[in-house]
């Protein structure tokens, strides 16, 4: 959990991405990681070696998507939605106008 907290203190975040049929967030959140191109090797290391037990098999993706025609400026990946991440979210974020800040 220590690497997770360290990364979250940087530019990473916890978020609710899945919604129910009424548009309300489902009960668990995930962690989202994004790093610049110069950190591409590091983000792959995090995904493959540090967070592999809580991630899906989807490799880090370039952003923006190549379909947009814009140059890639960062790589991103997310973890699975988990109760332990939701617990961290409840301790670190507060809800303001339907958004966690």
Separation of CA 92 from chain center: 15
Predicted local confidence at residue 3, as pLDDT: 79
Predicted local confidence at residue 96, as pLDDT: 62
Predicted local confidence at residue 98, as pLDDT: 60
Tens digit of pLDDT at every position of the chain (101 positions)? 577 888 888 778 888 887 778 877 788 999 999 999 999 999 999 999 999 999 988 999 999 887 888 898 999 999 999 999 989 888 887 766 565 55
User: Structure pTM?
Assistant: 0.78
Nearest to 29 by CA among 10, 8, 3: 8
Predicted local confidence at residue 19, as pLDDT: 77
């Amino acid at each position: 959990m220590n690497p997770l907290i360290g990364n979250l203190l940087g530019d990473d975040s916890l978020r609710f991405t899945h919604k129910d049929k009424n548009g309300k967030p489902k009960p668990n959140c995930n962690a989202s990681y994004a790093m610049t191109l110069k950190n591409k090797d590091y983000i792959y290391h995090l995904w493959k070696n540090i967070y592999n037990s809580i991630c899906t098999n989807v490799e880090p993706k370039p952003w923006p998507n190549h379909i947009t025609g814009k140059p890639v400026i960062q790589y991103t990946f997310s973890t699975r939605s988990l109760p332990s991440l939701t617990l961290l979210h409840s301790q670190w974020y507060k809800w303001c106008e339907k958004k966690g800040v």
